[in-house]
Every structure is written in structure tokens, then in C-alpha cells.
A and B are shown apart, each in its own frame.
Chain A
């Protein structure tokens, strides 16, 4: 119990807390009470998390990650609010950023909702169309090859180049974004599904054939699970590209979304909110990738 709690991260946490009580550079940074509460909250969270970890490696990772976070926060606090080493107008103190985050939370939620709605629509649409098509083309001796070449060509075009054309063709900027995300997911997923199907061991297919499976069973109980590892590769690539494209697109022409939030406030020179937006984008994408990886591990747990 004691060894779980008293580690280097605890020491850094104490330092971080102590640093908050140094004098601030300006009135505007005099937000130490908020930061103190934030630090206390982080400490409680860290402790609760540590109590749930069972393995020694997990605990080591936990310590290392919190050490890194606290070290950054200490350096950031000292460099801005406390010792004033960085220009105040460009480098907000952590206290300002976290306070701003709390104040803006409803605005942030709306923008996150807008971004995630587009991602979900485009990504799900892309996956739902690409996977069955990939299964079909991968299986088909006749169309498979041609489809492969066409997919390589069309998939090589970065979906971002469709944005201006899409704006002319489609009614709203939102539908353009969905379309671009759709393409970003569709091509890698189609290619990886086809390649997954093509690389199934013939012996696996023979084992299914001698059980006299019909075509739907072959497709959904044999071919689909056998190519699922490859399909997930494509989906992962699609999801990563989708985030890059969407935040870029939101910065170009949208009136909503996290990319819009960042660009809008940086245009006004409000770098506190710019930093808020950047941190939130990082957190949201990390959380989604974590969920995606969990799903992947769950569905592919048979690979051991």
C-alpha cells in the first residue's frame, strides 16, 4: 500500500502544489486558488487510479506518466505565472487556461459535439460501405484485380483536395466535411479489407468448405472474422486521417467544431482559449483512439 503511494510522482505533486503559493507575475494570474484546487483534484485522481492498478509494470507506467505531467505543469507554472520568463500575451499561465476551460465548458461541449458528429457520420458511413464492398471484391476472382487498381488510384488522392469542389457541389460545409471524412475512411478500409480477404489461408477456407457452409455463413462467420485484423488496420488509418482532415477543414471554413474554436480565438489574439482548444483536441482524440483500440483488442482477443 505504502509503496503504491509514496513514489517520485508524489514528490513532484507536492512540488507542484507548493509552487502555486509563490507570488504571481500579475493580477491576472492571481488564480492560484483555482490552480490549487485543480492540483488537489489531480492528486486525488492519481491516487484513486494507483489503487486500481494491479501489476508492477502498470504501476511503473502510472508513475512515469504522472511524473511527466507534473513536471510539465511545474515548468509551465514557473515559466509563466511565477517567474515571468515568457511573454504574457502569448503564453497564458496554466491557472488561466484551466479557469478558461471551466468557464467555456458549454461552448466547448457544443464544439466537441459538432466535431464528433461529423466524424461519427463520415467514419461509420465509410466503414459500413467499404467493408462489405471489400469483402465482395476480395472474394471475386473477376472484379477483385480491377477493383484493386482502381482503389489504389482513387485512394492515392488526398481527400483534402475535394474540399473546394465539395463546397461548390454540396449544400453545407458540414456535408462537405462528412463527405471528406467518408473518403478518408472509405479508401484505406476498402483496400485493407480486400487485402485481408485475399490473404486468408486457403486451408482455413477449405476447413469451412468441408463443413458445407453456405455463402452468407462463409462471408460473415469465416471471411469477415478472418480478415478483421487487416480491416482494423484500415479503419485505424482512416480514423487518424479523419481527425487531421476535420480539424483542418474546421479551421478553413467552418462555423463550428474544435478546429473552429482554436482558429476563431487565435484570430482575436486570445491565446488562452487557443491553448484551451489545443489541449481539449488532444484529450478528445486520445480518448477516442483509446476507445477504438479497446474495441479492436476486444474483437481480436482470439489472436492472444
Chain B
């Protein structure tokens, strides 16, 4: 399969602000195939957001390169949809206006009534048909993320970059949102989008990903890459009953917490 995203020997160093320059990512190489769902997992501060910022065009690479469709990333672009953990939505625009604003950015020529129609359509897809006139502040965290996902999907970008989008959602709603995302992605008309999804939740990564890229800490490097071979469409309830799920989960957990232990101080740490 064709590579949609190619990250080659990427390093990112934050400029010194009073202190030492800080290397957040070092020599990271990852490729993501067209239509692939890749989860990036790693403990807090290991550079996951930094990696996504480079792909989103918010941050330049210090060394190495990030290519999309073979071209180096130069700044932001509406070929990539981004969903953050917080503040993806603009609080002064209604849910519907937020989506319509995204559409206007992606399709400069789309007329206003068409934007409104598409916005409504995607609100309905994420189960928020009646909430279009509400401001983000009037919606729960889970509903806000639904709107943010609706906007990213409505813009119909090839690539979705998601930075812990469900990280601040309670467990029950997180499950619902994961299934919604899977459903929308697996059933996406015109082929599946390429998704890079950052999380620190091992279960979330296994449920969603085709492949899991594990970053290690200080400076962030690619630790290991795992294939997640489970058939799609996936359903959590069925998945967690299989032996393979638990085997993979145990392996990931062991490595994940081993790495965290290393970082804090090795063998003395009991987690």
C-alpha cells in the first residue's frame, strides 16, 4: 500500500526559554499507509503532541522530515483535520457555526446554505441533531468532542490527526465515542481516511488501531511498533472476549509500564 505519511529521522528541539534547549523527539521514523489507523501511545511528556504538531504543520522539524503524499509538510493545510483534547471548538460559535466555519475554510467556494446543510448532516451523524444552535459552553465535554469530530469529518480531509480526543471524557462516554469513531471511519464513504490517533490508553489503542506505535520517554523515540490484526468491523464487547486481545494487551502493558518505570527510576519503582 502507498505511504500516506512518512516521518523520517524526525527530531524536534524546543528552543531554550531561559533554560536548556529541550529535545522532545529524537530520530523518530514512522510510516502510515493510506487508509491506515495508527495509534501513537506513550506516557505523558514523551512527545506525542509534538509529533502531531509537526504533522499538523504547527511546528517545524528541527532535523529529519515529515512527508505527506511524498511532499514535506509546510505549514497548516486543510488536507488534514485536527481534533485536540480541548479547545478544538471556538466557544463563540454555535456547534453548527463551528462546523460551517471549518467547511468554509476547506471549501472557499461552498455557498452558505450548502455549508449549513452539510453541518446539519454531520451533526446528525454524531447524534447531535438538535444541538446545532448550542454554544460549546452549553455542551458536555463528550458532546463537544462529537462536534469537533463532526467538523473534522465534514471537512472530508484525507488525514485526521487526533490528540487524545477522548482523554478528558468519563469512561462510559469514552466507550461510546470510540465506537462512534470506529463506525464512522469503517463505514466512511469513498474509502477510509488515514488517522493518526494519540492516546495514553492501551485499551483504546487496541480497539481502534491497525498498528500501535509506542514512544519511549526523554527524548521521545519510537520504542516498538505492534500490529493489531483483529478483523473489522470491531466491537469492544466481542473483542475483549478473545484470547488474542488479552495477550496483546498484556504485552503492551508490560512494555508500557516497564518504560514508565525506567523513566522514574528503574527497579525501585512499584506501579
Q: Please, how many angstroms separate the alpha-carbon atoms of A291 and B223 in the complex?
A: 61
| Contact between chains at A206 and B58 (CB < 8 Å) | yes
B residues in contact with A301, CB < 8 Å: 135
Q: Is A207 an interface residue, CB under 8 A from the partner?
A: yes
Q: Is A281 an interface residue, CB under 8 A from the partner?
A: no
Q: Is A144 an interface residue, CB under 8 A from the partner?
A: no
State which of A207, A211, A222, A304 has its C-beta within 8 Å of the C-beta of B135.
Answer: A304
Q: Please, how many angstroms separate the alpha-carbon atoms of A208 and B87 in the complex?
A: 10
A residues in contact with B90, CB < 8 Å: 204, 207-208, 221-222, 225-226
Q: How far is the CB of B107 from chain A (nearest CB, A)?
A: 12
Q: Is A165 an interface residue, CB under 8 A from the partner?
A: no
Interface mask (A214-251 → B, CB under 8 Å = 1, otherwise 0): 00010001100110100000000000000000000000
Given A222-B90, A226-B92, A212:B76 Cβ within 8 A: yes
Q: How large is the interface on B (under 10, 10 to 19, 20 to 34, 35 or more residues)?
A: 20 to 34
Interface mask (B91-123 → A, CB under 8 Å = 1, otherwise 0): 111000000011001100000000000000000
Q: How large is the interface on A (under 10, 10 to 19, 20 to 34, 35 or more residues)?
A: 20 to 34
Q: Is A201 an interface residue, CB under 8 A from the partner?
A: yes
Q: Which of B80, B87, B92, B102 has the most CB of A within 10 A?
A: B92
State which of B57, B89, B91, B93 has its C-beta within 8 Å of the C-beta of A210.
Answer: B57
Q: How far is the CB of B49 from chain A (nearest CB, A)?
A: 10
Top 6 nearest A-B pairs by Cβ distance?
A: A210-B82, A225-B92, A203-B87, A302-B135, A304-B137, A211-B105
Which residues from chain A sit less than 8 Å from chain B, CB to CB? 201, 203-204, 206-213, 217, 221-222, 225-226, 228, 301-304
Q: Identify 7 new A-B residue pairs, CB closer than 8 A, beyond the known A211-B101, A304-B135.
A: A203-B84, A210-B58, A210-B76, A226-B92, A302-B91, A303-B137, A304-B138
Identify 23 residue pairs between A and B in the complex whose beta-carbon atoms are under 8 Å apart, listed by A's number: A204-B87, A206-B53, A206-B58, A207-B84, A207-B89, A207-B90, A208-B90, A209-B58, A209-B76, A211-B101, A211-B102, A211-B106, A212-B76, A212-B78, A213-B105, A226-B90, A226-B92, A228-B92, A302-B91, A302-B92, A302-B93, A303-B137, A304-B138
